[in-house]
Amino acid sequence: MNTLQTILPHSSIDVELPSLPELGCDLLHTTPGQRVVALARPFIGVAAFFVAAHLEWWFVTPLILFLTFIAVVTVTHDVVHNSLGLNRKQTDVALFLLGAILFESGHAYRATHSQHHSVFPDLDDPEGEPARMSFWRAVIHGPLFLPILWLWAIRRSRGSDRLWLVIEAVWCIAGVVGAGLFWPVVPAFSLYVLLAVIGSWVYPLLTVHLPHRHYGDSPLNQTHTLRGVVIPKLFLELTYHLEHHLYPQVPSHNLPELSRRLEPAFHRFGVKPVRVP
């Protein structure tokens, strides 16, 4: 059995769940095809956005960017947890490129997300702070969220990580300034940057507050899991948030199977997944 006190050291309650070997180490497997699809999805989304803009299908561009957000968040999540089989150099490049797509810092996310998994729900967790906020405060916190994460990461970074953080900040600022300057010349690019920046404001609400709200003192009630046919597929399995927190090394494409194998344990401990379409 696996005592989750060793996974979540700041939990006040020990919960014994099956170890990963007991559940099946095949859950850690990522095929080359799955890796390529995961890494290519965001760039396909960007290409689709500009194709739609070229065709003047402006009405569909917000939907395309929404799907691109999901693709970026999912694959960056896997890269941060080293579950796609990338080496260190490949990881650094992937974090930069994936963050650059949405004018964010992939390396800041790695720093703060690792902290989130290590200490939540303790206070030294800038990523987890919206879980302690009200709904509307989490909404208002949106424009401040990513800058706060970047500042937290830069204060604690050294060497190459700090250099990556500076490069990513320069890229983000240049993108926003460029979008303002070149609006009359390249309106599609300016619209893309505008939607990307505004879209990032929902992170505190959708990725932290809602998954973690009303968290308890056990690893089994510090976040939620959503089950369904459409919504989990649409969000590329990010809705299996409890399973991810319990076994963060499992890649997103294997979370549905992990969830299925955890059913007996969840039933034993009274965990009730939220049902969605």
Taking the CA atoms of 33, 37, 40 and 44 in sequence, report the sign of the dihedral they define. Answer: positive
With bands split at pLDDT 50, 70 and 90, how would you rate the model's confidence at 200? Answer: very high
Token pair for residue 234?
A: 């649409």
Cα separation, 29 vs 20, in Å, equals 12
* Every domain of the chain and the residues it spans: 2-275
Token pair for residue 39?
A: 């890494």
What are residue 16's DSSP bridge partners?
3
Bond into 277 cis (ω within 30): no
226-271 confidence digits (pLDDT tens): 888 899 999 999 999 999 999 999 999 999 999 999 999 998 988 9
pTM: 0.90
Residue 217 has pLDDT above 60, yes or no: yes
Question: Average model confidence (pLDDT) for the chain?
Answer: 92
Residue 14: the pLDDT is: 56
The whole-number average pLDDT for the span 199-217 is 92
Of 240, 237, 230, the C-alpha closest to 276 is 230
42-93 confidence digits (pLDDT tens): 999 999 999 999 999 999 999 999 999 999 999 999 999 999 999 999 999 9
Encode burial over 65-98: b for 16+ CB neighbours within 10 A, e otherwise. bebbbbbbbbbbbbbbbebbebeeeebbebbbeb
Cα separation, 168 vs 113, in Å, equals 17
Residue 107: the pLDDT is: 98
